[in-house]
Amino acid sequence: MVEKKSIDLLIDNGTVVTIDKDRRVIRHGAVAIKKNKIKEVGKARLLKAKYSAKRVYDAKNKLITPGLINSHLHFYHHMHRGLSPETLNGLGWSDFVHRRVATVVDPQDEIWGGLGTLLETLKTGVTTFLEAGSYNLAETIEGVAKIGMRGLMGRRSFDHISQGHDMLVDSTRKCLAANEAFMKDYQDGVGLVKPCIVLVGMGRCSDTLYRKSKEMADNYGTVLHMHQANMLENIQESMALHGERPVEHLYNIGALGSNVVMVHMVHVNQKEIGMLAKSKANVVHCPNTAMKLSYGMAAFGRFTEMSEAGVNVAIGTDASDCSNFNDMVRLIYLAAVTPKDYRYDPAAGSAEKALEMATINGAIALNMEKEIGSLEAGKKADIAIYDMHRPDWVPLYNELQNFVYSAQGSSCESVIIDGNFVVEKGKVLTIDEDEVVDRVQFQAKKMLKKTKIPIYSPWKWS
């Protein structure tokens, strides 16, 4: 009789969505984990015969997926969720929140806003995030890392006034120096959170800042993260300044590459799609924000065409006051259904494509595809487990269809990151959830007092 191999954890008898190269979906499947890595994925009966586990997690009636990757979110924006009038378009919203809120943000806002954002998205199955820029870097990375999630964060940097947006603009020299200092001081990260280079983008950065930031990302082996091409105004401004569209200009100045992550990208033409594919730059789609802020996604969005051209497209929930939610399951649904409508083609989006955007595509965007994004031997044990014995999951014929089109993020039962349970049976184990909720609301009261922003609603309040 062959002696069984010792492992730490066996997730047993669930439906395993591997997202490996063969895109296997294994019913009555199992995942064997030793320390912080996946040892093997396969049929439960075979793995149970092969391994002796210190702990067996019963995954009957559960869906087991790679940990979801939220490829674009904001920390301090969480503190002004619901403050801005919903009648503002992208340009009006950006001016409102950055002029009236960003200028009074303090470290506690970023820490607790960050934890609030991460807690919300974690509980829907997210294990990894890419954050879009903070102001109080040391305090924030130290504060948010305790949640136990994997992620990248950086400094919100820009050196140009654009469309009247002159709040908190810095010199090119200061932006580069601050980013370099953060990379040096935190090159090993805090917990599983590591530094990256973040630019605001959207006409608010000089060519020098773009080029030097790309060089810095190359030198430190990290990603360069920026917003681009979200609104028509961005295209018009770029044409007026450079005679080129935003992606075209970045391509021509040498600021694109496989470690560049560009968010929104609603207004991109076919020529630019070719440039994205050639440079291997990554795109992050935020359909929730595009719809709420009227970016024109239905009229101008070309995300299906990007994917067909070989561009890596991931998804992110964006900021809590322009998307307003951080539920990745809800976002996966939008990523699947919106192209069906605006392309008049039911095959333009699918459950499988949307799941790829939330897993392996996100891993590629973050340059982590060798570590995370799929359930395969040798990869980090970052796993989400969903309860399918719920009203929103039945009747159950096709687990992928139900997950994307029927389920809610609240069906996430447990989350494993780096081999450790961070959420188990719905309970967050790393931080006090009630404390986070209370502290976010405490900071919100202070924020309201500092900003004096009235509640927006056409209804009468008393």
User: DSSP string spanning 252-308?
Assistant: HTT--STTEEEEE--S--HHHHHHHHHHT-EEEE-HHHHHHTT--HHHH--HHHHHH
286-331: pLDDT as tens digits:
999 999 999 999 999 999 999 999 999 999 999 999 999 999 999 9
Q: pTM for the whole thing?
A: 0.98
Distance of CA 199 to the CA centre of its chain: 16
DSSP letter at 133 equals -
Q: Look at residue 1 in the predicted model and tell me its pLDDT.
A: 66
Q: Which of 64, 11, 67, 13 shows the shortest CA–CA distance to 34?
A: 11
Contacts of 455 (CB under 8 A, 6+ apart): 461
Contacts of 329 (CB under 8 A, 6+ apart): 124, 125, 403, 407, 408, 409, 411, 412
* CA torsion through residues 44, 46, 47, 48, sign: positive
Q: Which of 354, 356, 301 shows the shortest CA–CA distance to 330?
A: 354
370-382: pLDDT as tens digits:
999 999 999 999 9
Residue type at 29 in one-letter notation: G
Using an 8 Å Cβ cutoff, are 72 and 263 in contact?
yes
Q: Look at residue 162 in the predicted model and tell me its pLDDT.
A: 85
pLDDT, averaged in runs of 10, over the chain (462 residues): 92 98 98 98 98 98 99 95 92 90 93 98 98 96 98 96 85 97 97 98 95 98 97 94 97 98 98 98 98 96 97 97 96 98 95 98 98 98 99 98 98 98 98 98 94 91 88
Q: At what angle do helices 172-185 and 137-144 cross, to 10 degrees?
A: 40
CA–CA dist 34, 258 (Å, integer): 31
Q: Residue 387's beta-bridge partner residues?
A: 62
Q: Look at residue 350 in the predicted model and tell me its pLDDT.
A: 97
User: DSSP string spanning 83-120?
Assistant: TS-TT--HHHHHHHHHHHTGGG--HHHHHHHHHHHHHH
Q: Look at residue 455 in the predicted model and tell me its pLDDT.
A: 87
**Residue 163 DSSP SS3:** coil
* CA torsion through residues 330, 335, 340, 343, sign: positive
Q: For the chain, report the end-to-end CA distance as a whole number of angstroms.
A: 76
Place of tokens 């305790």: 146
Number of residues that make up the chain: 462
User: DSSP string spanning 381-428?
Assistant: --EEEEE-SSGGG-S-S-HHHHHHHT--GGGEEEEEETTEEEEETTEE
Residue 340: both structure tokens together:
């069906």
Q: How many CA atoms lie within 13 A of 40 on its CB side?
A: 17
The answer, yes or no, to whether the previous bond of 395 is cis (omega within 30 of 0) is yes
- 3-state helix, strand and coil shares in percent for the chain, rounded to the nearest 5: 40, 25, 35
DSSP letter at 206 equals -
